[in-house]
Amino acid sequence: MQPNAGNILVSGGAGYIGSHVALTLKQAGFTPVVLDSLVKGNRWAGEKSGPFRQGNIGDAAFVAAVCDEFKPIAALHFAAFIEVGESVAKPDMYFANNRDNAKIFFETIASKGVGNIVFSSTAAVYGEPEEVPIRETTAQKPINPYGQSKLEAEEAMRVVPNVRSVALRYFNVAGAAPKAGLGETHYPETHVIPRIVLPLLDAPAVLLDALGLKTGFKLFGTDYPTRDGTAVRDYIHVLDLADAHVLALRYLIGGGTTNIFNLGSGDGFSVSEIVAATRKVLNRPDFAPGVAPRRAGDPATLIADSTKARSVLGWTPRRGIEEMIASAAAWHRTETYVNTILTKAHAANS
């Protein structure tokens, strides 16, 4: 019998994906125990779904104390830095947090009897893949410190004694749970859907200025060898991704062996398809982004094959691109989002 109850450590649970997974865990009957340093996350997000403890996952004494307090039956690990450009500029910071702190976290919770770990990894471990769609057996050749640090964290997790683990590898996550008061609050904002949506919402000028979005969105390249000439990428709604983490948790609790699963949407979405969906969802038929040359190093198509996750975990993404856009737009209109971004911008510039 797989339990539908028990305490689950959620490292990085005050961040975008971690907070949505914590919400989904709570709805599934578990009790998420959120650990977050709040270097990137938000306290209000960390406190939404269960007990919250502020601290660094690289602090073994802190992690051990939380384990002693809550006696978790498993852990889900999200506490990582995720910006590719920042990883190139600050590789030491990325390896120190994403790999070294993760290793301390894995070893500490294992010493406290936590033998099941679900790791929020990334398809960036594949680099510029040799095959598309990308399978779990595709060669892992990261091309930046972000992807390399996550790959080395995966490897560190798999050699910890008495631990069974699942690494979930995926590309782009979008959407929100606005009715639950949760959504994406990245600063700076580099993700495509927020960058498309925000300038179309009549957002406060001070917000668009802080995010560098006053000039609107541009298509970088319309001559790719794809179905409409624009680059194709894999997008998953954050709540579909959260479902996958809960399924992976139940897989491990039910006796599943250490494994790796790619999570993908199937065919992916081209940038032009995202633009068309945005016109429809936001009722902006006038939306016509400018066109700019391709950016160096941007592959035409990046899609993860999720056949294995669908067959072994029983996971199926249920929310399409229109729901991603609509939920993101609803979230980006909230006072919580606007105030959080302006606070982060002020802190960064002071």
How confident is the model at residue 243, as a pLDDT? 98
Q: Spell out the per-residue pLDDT of the chain, length 350, in tens.
A: 456 779 999 999 999 999 999 999 999 999 999 999 999 999 999 999 999 999 999 999 999 999 999 999 999 999 999 999 899 999 999 999 999 999 999 999 999 999 999 999 999 999 999 899 999 999 999 999 999 999 999 999 999 999 999 999 999 999 999 999 999 999 999 899 999 999 999 899 999 999 999 888 999 999 999 999 999 999 999 999 999 999 999 999 999 999 999 999 888 999 999 999 999 999 999 999 999 998 877 889 999 999 999 999 999 999 999 999 999 999 999 999 999 999 999 999 98
- Torsion 95-35-167-156 (CA) sign: positive
Residues in contact with 190: Cβ distance below 8 Å, sequence separation at least 6, in sequence order: 83, 85
Question: Would you say the C-alpha torsion 46, 51, 57, 61 has a positive or negative sign?
Answer: positive
Are 60 and 44 contacting, i.e. CB atoms less than 8 angstroms apart? no
What is the distance between the alpha carbons of residues 207 and 175, in angstroms, rounded to a whole number? Answer: 19
pLDDT of residue 2: 59
Residue 337 confidence (pLDDT): 98
Domains of the chain with bracketed CATH: 7-171+235-264 (3.40.50.720), 180-231+269-300+331-349 (3.90.25)
Cα–Cα distance measured from residue 96 to residue 105, given in angstroms and rounded to the nearest whole number: 12
CA 283, CA 275: separation in Å to the nearest integer?
12
Per residue in 112-141, is it b (16+ CB within 10 Å) or e — as a string? bebbbbbbbbbbbbbbebeebbbebebebe
Write phi, then psi, for 261 (nearest 5 degrees): -135, 130
CA 146, 152, 158, 162 torsion-angle sign:
negative
Amino acid in the structure at residue 244: A
Per-residue pLDDT at 1? 44
CA separation (Å) from 155 to 54, 62, 207, 248, 342?
26, 23, 40, 18, 38
Confidence (pLDDT) at 267: 84
The contacts of residue 89 (CB under 8 Å, 6+ apart) are none
Which of 146, 224, 235, 251 is catalytic? The answer is 146
Using CA atoms, how far apart are residues 185 and 122, in angstroms rounded to an integer?
A: 19
Q: Is 146 a catalytic residue?
A: yes
